[in-house]
Structure 1
Amino acid sequence: MTTELLLAFIAFAFVTSVTPGPNNMMLLASGVNFGVRRSLPHMLGISLGFMILVIAVGLGLGQLFEQFPPLYSALRYGGAAYLLYLAWKIAGAGAPDAASGNSKPFTFLQAAAFQWVNPKAWIMAIGAITTYTPHEGFLLNVLLIAALFALVNCPSVGLWTVAGSFLRRWLEAPRVLRAFNIGMALLLVASLYPILSDFQGPL
């Protein structure tokens, strides 16, 4: 991989990681509701889960979807349904010390598994492999791309968690926090439209 291509890929990884999407909307809400420390497993799960997704796409999963388009459609709509479920959970979340005790941040494994049903993650992974991965030494380049993406992704998504933690002091009142969570849920739902409309057909 040339230096120019490497720098272009790092810019791509940063822009796609830091711009709004399902992961970042959930991390902003997690930063508000749980703080940075309790959200760390969520952040690490996103980055490492996404790294595995990039490797899988590079090793041929994308080609499998090209041969069997219904598989991709099932993933796309299943992911959308799961995002709607998460939006509903966020909208109903209370303060972390609520009496119900049901308010918990995403675990590492939950966040890692979520990447496989996150439409934006698939678009990012496919773009990284098809646009920035040289064919010469392809396997090594896939591993390099995946590792670099994870290194860029973690601090990028972490900015949303930190931003959420700074908002906590202004959202201490239960009514205000509830309104914020409903707003985050609506933004999460809204993030589905541009993602899903990019792929009206198979990969």
Structure 2
Amino acid sequence: MIETTALLGIAAAELGMVLTPGPNMMYLVSRSVSQGRRAGLVSLSGVAVGFMVYLAAATAGITAIFATVPGLYLAVKLAGAGYLAYLAWKTLRGGISAFEPSMLPPDPTRKLFTMGLVTNLLNPKIAIIYMALIPQFVNPEHGRVWLQSLLLGSVQISIALIVNGMIVLGAAAVATFLTGRPLWLRAQRWITGTLLGTIAVLLATDRSRPLPA
């Protein structure tokens, strides 16, 4: 049986991470603003499948591989940090806010779903949750490890989808509010870029290792 503290710990950690700008949020917002709520929700369905892939991998004990081969985990972590650093640089230097309307070509439903899936699979924040965070809340003395991983992962997915769904539904309204307010857009861009850069540095310098699930 999973302890209440473990459920609350995962819920709090996921809430903090999902509210921090990252690849998922930037993609969902850009599609919702440029192509409408339906496009954002289709993209979100791809993101949801990406969560399922991570959950299946965690349940199967994929974190044990990273615990056994630290070099592989380090490579994945540094690649994720580099990706976030690139997004931070692009946000700060490109002068584009995630909520600023842009003339993006409309994508078909299949591409929206696929890009949502790929963006989530390459999201280092999600990888860290399943490789290093969830295993820390799993206690072998409380029952089957795979079942605990499944339940904790389900809590993470539920919170992520609820929050991201609200972001998709509200992205257009936020973009409308920011239109004509260049200072607000600039502040949002710099805040997003700074947060992404900070996360990249913390991820690259973090010395923790994944625990076998």
More divergent stretch after superposition (81-90 vs 69-78)? 81-90
- The reply on whether 1:130 has 2:136 as its aligned counterpart is yes
CA RMSD of aligned residues (A): 3.8
In the alignment of these two chains, the number of paired residues is 200
CA displacement, residues 69-96 of structure 1 (integer Å, 9 cap, x when unaligned): 2212221222233345555389477844
In structure 2, do the counterparts of structure 1 residues 46 and 74 end up closer, same or farther at CA, with 3 Å as the change threshold?
Answer: same
**For the residues of structure 2 that align with 1:172 and 1:158, how far apart are their CA atoms?**
22
**For the residues of structure 2 that align with 1:26 and 1:195, how far apart are their CA atoms?**
22
- The reply on whether 1:60 has 2:61 as its aligned counterpart is yes
Could you tell me how far 1:169 is from its partner in structure 2? 1.8
**For the residues of structure 1 that align with 2:30 and 2:70, how far apart are their CA atoms?**
34
Could you tell me how far 1:154 is from its partner in structure 2? 0.6
Matched with 2:171 is 164
Where structure 1 has 5 or more consecutive residues not aligned to the other structure, the ranges are: none
Q: How do residues 107-146 of structure 1 correspond to structure 2 at under 5 angstroms?
A: 107-125=112-130, 126-132=132-138, 135-146=142-153
In structure 2, do the counterparts of structure 1 residues 197 and 27 end up closer, same or farther at CA, with 3 Å as the change threshold?
Answer: same
Name the TM-score, length of structure 2 as normaliser: 0.68
Q: How do residues 33-48 of structure 1 correspond to structure 2 at under 5 angstroms?
A: 33-48=34-49
**For the residues of structure 2 that align with 1:5 and 1:20, how far apart are their CA atoms?**
23
In structure 2, do the counterparts of structure 1 residues 195 and 117 end up closer, same or farther at CA, with 3 Å as the change threshold?
Answer: farther
**For the residues of structure 1 that align with 2:46 and 2:9, how far apart are their CA atoms?**
22
Q: Which residue identity is paired with 1:71?
A: L
CA displacement, residues 28-60 of structure 1 (integer Å, 9 cap, x when unaligned): 444433332211122222233123213312322
How high is the sequence identity, in percent, across the aligned residues? 24
CA contact (8 A) 2:29 2:168 kept: yes
Matched with 2:20 is 20
Where structure 2 has 5 or more consecutive residues not aligned to the other structure, the ranges are: none
**For the residues of structure 1 that align with 2:18 and 2:207, how far apart are their CA atoms?**
25
